[in-house]
Amino acid sequence: MNYPNGKRARSSQPKASRTEKHFGNRGMSLEEDINHTNAYYQSAGIAVIHKKPTPVQIVNVDYPKRSAAVIKEAYFKQPSTTDYNGIYRSHYIDFEAKETRNKTSFPFSNIHQHQIDHMKAVVEHGGLCFFIIKFTPLDETFLLPAVKLFSFWDEQYKGGRKSIPYDYVKNNGELIPFHYQARINYIKILDKLYF
């Protein structure tokens, strides 16, 4: 708005970065969007899903001030399993969230064998286990049931691909549209697939 003196009014708000303009007020990462979604689910009484903390053993702490401890050295106590777990409609939920900058496939480089073993055990015991995969350049997020990934994972050790093609994820997973309250509304997809 121009004021009567012809000068443009100065905004007291900081200028939006290029990424903020592109994403609107969306979260900057998949994990942030899922955490926001889980908080919404819990406050609305829909589900109780939490991010699992990574078990860490603190070895060395520096106390420059009594109120400001600084961790200088720490180690992972044990390998972590998956990112999130909880309960929905009396069913145990367990899932891993991954982002990739690749447009054509989802590489296995960020998944570990102990995570796959954990997910296979969850499925074997009747839990709902899945991956939420975001193809960042395409701005598309999918829910892929874990069982649909297991065969690809096992085949890589027999000379198969070390990734899952985007088309496979698109055809065998479910696209999760972005929403403002439940940003990554994966519960809606679980209702469609399992209930």
Q: Is the pLDDT assigned to residue 5 strictly greater than 80?
A: no
pLDDT confidence band for 77 (50 / 70 / 90): low
Q: Is the pLDDT assigned to residue 26 strictly greater than 80?
A: no
Question: pTM to 2 decimals?
Answer: 0.75
Residue whose token pair is 């399992």: 194
| Domains of the chain as residue ranges with CATH | 18-53+79-194 (3.40.1350.10)
Task: Give the pLDDT mean for 60-87.
Answer: 77
pLDDT of residue 76: 61
Ramachandran angles phi, psi of 38, nearest 5°: -65, -35
How far is Cα 82 from Cα 94, in angstroms, rounded to an integer?
7
